[in-house]
Amino acid sequence: MSVTTPAGFRAAGVTAGLKTSGRPDLALVVNDGPLAVAAGVFTSNRVVAAPVVWSRTAVGDGVARAVVLNSGGANACTGPEGFADTHRTAEYTGAALRVDAGDVLVCSTGLIGERLPMDTLLAGVHDAAARLTSDGGADAATAIMTTDTVSKTSHVQGDGWSVGGMAKGAGMLAPGLATMLVVITTDAVIDAARADAALREATGTTFDRVDSDGCMSTNDTVLLLASGASGVEPAPGQLEAALTQVSADLARQLVADAEGASHDIAVTVSGATSETAAVAVARAVTRSNLFKAAVFGNDPNWGRVLAAVGTVPEDVAPYDPLTLDVSINGVQVCRAGGVGEDRTLVDLAADREVQVLVELHAGEASATVWTNDLTHDYVHENSAYSS
């Protein structure tokens, strides 16, 4: 399942010993071809981890044959020595798989500011390379978990080809998680240009629209590998749709497992002058600590929604504050910028999922951004973090 659902891929997940918990912490995904097409999307943070610097360059030629991922350490803010560690990981993995080091992508997740224990990590790579199987996707998905409580995988079956994926991440989403790592595979026949365009299209409306706590990671990475093993080239739009579907599924799973959350909140903004405007307004609401704390308390506090909407500059999202409508779980609690239906009609305690709809009455565009509530457990987990 997962990344090994499409033909042409093997994977493994092992316990290298990077985590003090003794849980699996090293994953390997190998593309056996015949194609070795790859694309990547990375955090837009200017402070990036060594594996992001490496992988961004390595995937630049549209070719990759393997991805090695570790939890138990982010290898971020580790200076030139940290980059040398990533480089050595790629070299070692390449040698073990008999592929060029430049075709090995590296992802790391865990604490920032600490060097990885390289002997432990490389022994794990050795072990994983020996255990690669065509049904190792589930093990790989487990080995990349940090504070995740469940592993996340997805797949979509196309017409003679398929797309599979795995993801980890539970905290920082902005587009980044603490850390979001995603590997998506397909056995469809596509070239590097199509892979890159399809991946950017898919992430732009899925992973980029999840904003758990407004924090952007130094390590976020979404990779796409295409083996071509199906021999089938999907019709225009088909691969793109499947990739978006897998991305949306994985993104939704990330929200559902966000650190300490008790509610998943979908903020939909409609009636915007553009999709960009709709996203900007939705993101402002998803970043309101006050609104998110209110949802934790099952309080449909629409005033805090309006206060957040009002922070978006007029040149970004034109609207008239006196025409704003807000519905929460289908109850229009705010009408024309003022009091609407009785807020006590909203029952937030009944479901984990909360639907917030903001109608701007300014245009035709809409967008949805997902977030979570702000809870005691979020504060607890992030004030006492250890991977």
**Which residue in the list 78, 179, 206, 268 is annotated as catalytic?**
179
**Which residues neighbour 251 within 8 Å (Cβ) at sequence distance 6 or greater?**
167, 206, 207, 209, 210, 370
- Shortest Å distance, C-beta 74 to a second copy: 8
User: Using the rule CB under 8 A, is 349 a contact of a second copy?
Assistant: no
With CB under 8 A as the contact rule, which of the stretches 43-51, 84-92, 100-108, 197-205 interacts with a second copy?
43-51
Minimum CB separation of residue 375 from a second copy in Å reads 6
**Which region among 44-52, 96-104, 139-147, 149-157 touches a second copy (by CB under 8 A)?**
44-52
Q: Which is nearer to a second copy, 226 or 284 (CB)?
A: 284
Does residue 341 touch a second copy according to CB under 8 A? Answer: no
Residue-by-residue DSSP string for 298-328: T---HHHHHHHHTTS-TTTS---GGG-EEEE
Choice from 273, 323, 332, 382 touching a second copy (CB under 8 A): 382
The tokens for 174 are 């902005």
Residue spans of beta strands (DSSP E) within 173-220: 181-186
Residue 181: Cβ-neighbour burial (10 angstroms; 0-12, 13-18, 19+): buried
| Sole window of 60-68, 208-216, 269-277, 350-358 interacting with a second copy (rule: CB under 8 A) | 208-216
* Residue found by looking up tokens 């080239």 in the block: 233
Q: Which tokens go with 205?
A: 């409306």
Q: Which two tokens stand for residue 363?
A: 């245009």
Q: Residue 311 CB, nearest distance to a second copy (Å)?
A: 5
User: Cα–Cα distance between 292 and 27 in angstroms, integer?
Assistant: 34
Q: Is there binding between residue 14 and a second copy (CB under 8 A)? A: no
Q: Does 352 bind a second copy (CB under 8 A)?
A: no
Site for a second copy in 72-101 (CB under 8 A): 74, 76-79, 81-82
Q: Is 179 considered catalytic here?
A: yes
321 part of the interface to a second copy, by CB under 8 A: yes
Determine the 3-state secondary structure of 283 from DSSP.
helix
E-strand ranges in the chain read: 9-14, 26-31, 37-42, 66-70, 104-108, 152-157, 162-168, 181-186, 221-226, 264-272, 325-328, 331-335, 338-339, 353-359, 365-372
- Out of 42, 54, 92, 378, the residue judged to bind a second copy by CB under 8 A: 378
Interface segment toward a second copy; rule CB under 8 A; list 121-129, 193-201, 227-235, 287-295 = 287-295
Q: Considering the rule CB under 8 A, would residue 118 count as an interface residue with a second copy? A: no
Q: Is 376 exposed, middle or buried (0-12, 13-18, 19+ CB in 10 A)?
A: exposed
**At closest approach, how far in Å is the CB of 193 from a second copy?**
27
Subset of 215-244 contacting a second copy (CB under 8 A):
215-218
Catalytic residues: 179
